[in-house]
Structure 1
């Protein structure tokens, strides 16, 4: 019986031990090898003191070993906490403090940075270097062991009893928060498996499929890549992080690896269309193109459909708190020259229900009427780690029934019903959350960092709609007493405290921020100063994607 995520790997290892489970840059591991390697890591983690329910950090780039680490943590009974490999030490340390990460798995690229985590207050006691032996000394007398690959390989490779059940947490994904600090979304094994079962059956995955894995582990798109393929006994091909900037080489990977399924954010697919020279590639194997995380401009989707006409296309929607909760199959009418500017987000996934409430809390059932989207079903997360107040604001008793306790998720996304009365059309958000490069970003998160600069008096960040990345971020700043504050200094300050995708591209200096009659920052006025009256484009879904905006092919 498969009730834990590692059971998917175990079953495929039993059925297809020699079939390739994962590939990366020409290397590959079979299901049998991945099973054995993850078991060894699980035993080492147990020997290092990891117990059921412990949070274990992952601070490493995607590779074969990152997949080993994910399964190894869960097999040890732990909860994996993926950390953005490009995030500053301060942000990583905050997450570690927030959920009590005492054990972290790193690769060689991050091993040398771990000593800085202690200075930032991370409560570490074990650092596992999974890709290379390291010699590392920490300061301050903090006890910390540093086992490496040799210690992992010395463990037995037999199965490990994790001591967990399906309602235990499998992982925690940190997303941008409205108060300037990340929030950890808690996902159980059962919650993720509900999504995996839906994806497996809906997209008819089989052992002959070869799926790309481009999304970083801290982005919920990665759960399809890892676990739906494992359920099918298929092969997952990890895309090197740099290929997002090299559309031709990414198209080469589709061709050379005979990819059948790809799941990416639209900004990357748009770059592929424009600079990937798709017409020069043999993409006959590609049968399914899934996209999520932001709006896919129809003009680029149309070109992609023309380049790969035999594939099926699906628009997937859902915040991290629900994974995918609605989906829409693209039709020829959607990419016609006179098609609407945006795709629908479709209908609810099977075994999930969505409903729309208007401002008075009444259910919206009339086409064209706007309201807020709510989600119920097994894929709804368990709330935010260590923050019951924030959890209570978003995970509420189902307002449509009061007969028994049932928590549903209030998305904050505004939608309306299409004329057919069932298909949903995405409108925007009711808060200041935007999407850029596939990442969900709270503008207040960036503003909070800007306010920490000693010379910044006021700050506001706006998002400018952009077909390539969803939104481009620009900041307006008021300095104390007209102090000289170079934009480069502000950008460097932001890079110390924020991931690259959250650093504003431009900084504008004002004597004062415009205000509304109620004293709030007048964001439309700021957009008008930039010559744009359009509100920020709100994107569909959640998570991460591109780290940069390259427009030239290799």
Structure 2
């Protein structure tokens, strides 16, 4: 089973339902696609890519774009080739984007036409690419030609600013040639997407994720959050942050609606709250605590977590979970939103654990100062606590090891 097969199977039942809405936050009606329109656009892109791409080896296609109505169909179109999509954020430092494309040895990049000038100006000094000659609707296809060593030191200064641990060195080394050779032996269509880690503790690592590794997340969250075709999910995460995969495919594999807004709107708390909870009545929100805090305690209590909010599920992850004291202060009287702490790392395909905060704790007047627990492993995830010698710890403290 693949991500696109999950969507195809669901879409066959909900062809006329709304699959995606894009609201620019400018008081204009949102642009919406039905599941039928979504699949049609995806198939057109797939046929275009098959006609113009000569892969050989691993099939990976870069996607350089901003969030918009076409984003899900572009991702599905790449997956149906079949190929893996490699998101590239136009707002990222050009040196990081170039490093990512080079390390992935990308041969093709789809560039949103509105971002063409930015793509060219950001990468003209380190990229050797064909003149744009092949276009498809709102996209342009670039074929890249890398010169050996051209960007080998592009992140040198940045990496020197951080102390890279021995463990990170080993992971980085293992993710170079050996990983590439291993993946080349896998069957076509194995990979779903390719991302890079943030690089906050050293040189970013490239993470290639097969469908089989991310599907358990999708399936478990669909069940855990009881997602139905009546739900509206918000694409809160940037495409380069792997929780976006969960947001997109939990929605599209359930017959639900995926709401997308421009990146610029996400930093405008009042406007974002109005779009999410007044205009569209979002029911499921997966977000970082930072995004939630942007609303401010008053708006959270009066709108996001009010008694009459549309929000059924709030899943917070990617950062330290707020203290229970703060969380309880954010909830309006009578709020019934289910709140989850979710934890994971990119290397194990997004989320690894979940913990639903019990209602009795949320409604209790007793102060809870202890940190919120990580909870239970998600489907397909293995968690162990080990001591410094690598031996399992059944009681006491140790280091958490995650696997899948």
Deviation string, structure 1 residues 346-391 (Cα, Å, up to 9, x no partner): 121234221100112221111xx221111233xxxxxxxxxxxxxx
Query: Larger C-alpha radius of gyration, 1 or 2?
Result: 1
Query: Aligned to 2:329, which of 295, 299, 303?
Result: 303
Secondary structure of the equivalent of 2:207? strand
SS of residue matched to 1:193: helix
**Following the alignment from structure 2 to structure 1, what is the Cα–Cα distance between the partners of residues 298 and 125?**
42
Q: Which residue of 2 aligns with 1:328?
A: 355
Residues 1:261 and 2:266 aligned together: no
SS in 1 for 2:393: coil
Which residue of structure 1 lines up, in the alignment, with residue 316 of structure 2?
291
2:261 corresponds to: 239
**What does 1:106-505 align with in structure 2 at a 5 Å threshold?**
106-116=111-121, 119-122=124-127, 124-125=129-130, 132=138, 168-177=190-199, 180-255=202-277, 256-274=279-297, 276=299, 278-279=301-302, 283-298=308-323, 299-306=325-332, 309-322=335-348, 323-331=350-358, 332-333=360-361, 336=365, 338-366=367-395, 369-377=396-404
Q: What residue in structure 1 maps to residue 151 of structure 2?
A: none
Q: CA deviation at 1:76?
A: 1.3
Q: What displacement does 1:123 show?
A: 5.3
Partner of 1:77: 82
Distance 2:288 2:188 in 1: 30
The question of whether the paired residues in 1 share the 8 Å contact of 2:83 and 2:189 is answered with: no
Given that 1:93 and 1:121 are in contact with CA atoms closer than 8 Å, whether structure 2 keeps it comes out as yes
1:153-212 per-residue CA deviation (whole Å, 9 max, x = no partner) reads xxxxxxxxxxx9687111111113477432111100111112111111121111111111
Helix, strand or coil for the counterpart of 2:346? coil
- Out of 85, 89, 98, the residue aligned to residue 94 of structure 2 is 89
Q: Which runs of no fewer than 5 residues in structure 1 stay unpaired?
A: 139-163, 378-554
CA shift in 2, pair 1:89/1:231, >3 Å: same
Distance 1:101 1:356 in 2: 37
Instruction: Tell me if structure 2 keeps the 8 A contact 1:102–1:125.
Output: no
Whether the 8 Å contact between 2:90 and 2:119 is mirrored in structure 1 is no
Q: Given the superposition, is the C-alpha separation of residues 133 and 347 from structure 1 closer, same or farther in structure 2, using an over 3 Å criterion?
A: closer
* 1:13–1:32 Cα contact (<8 Å) kept: yes
Matched, 1:9 2:31: no
Q: 1:21 aligns with which of 16, 19, 38?
A: 19
Indicate whether 1:40 and 2:40 are aligned.
no
CA distance in 2, matches of 1:83, 1:336: 46
Q: Which moved more, 1:332-341 or 1:28-37?
A: 332-341
| Alignment correspondent of 2:64 | 59
Mark the CA change 1:201 to 1:71 in structure 2 (over 3 Å): closer, same or farther. Answer: same
Tell me, yes or no, if the aligned pair for 2:234 and 2:259 is still in contact at 8 Å. Answer: yes
Instruction: Say which SS state the counterpart of residue 259 (structure 1) adopts.
Output: coil
- What count of residue pairs does the alignment treat as equivalent? 347
Report the equivalent of 2:160. Answer: none
* Structure 1 residue 340: Cα displacement: 1.7
Q: Which residue of structure 2 aligns with residue 421 of structure 1?
A: none
Gaps spanning 5+ residues in structure 2: where? Answer: 24-29, 145-185
The alignment's TM-score, normalised by the length of structure 2, stands at 0.78
Judged with a 3 Å threshold, the aligned counterparts in structure 2 of structure 1 residues 242 and 351 are, in CA distance, closer, same or farther, namely same
CA distance in 2 between partners of 1:219 and 1:278 (Å) = 27
Using the alignment, how far apart are the partners of 1:259 and 1:81 within structure 2?
A: 28
What is the deviation of 1:50? 4.7
Instruction: Supply the distance in 2 between the matched residues of 1:276 and 1:108 (Cα, whole angstroms).
Output: 37
1:133 CA drift (Å): 7.6
**Does structure 1 retain, via aligned residues, the 8 Å contact 2:231–2:284?**
yes
1:64 aligned counterpart, secondary structure: coil
2:106 match: secondary structure: coil
SS in 1 for 2:109: strand
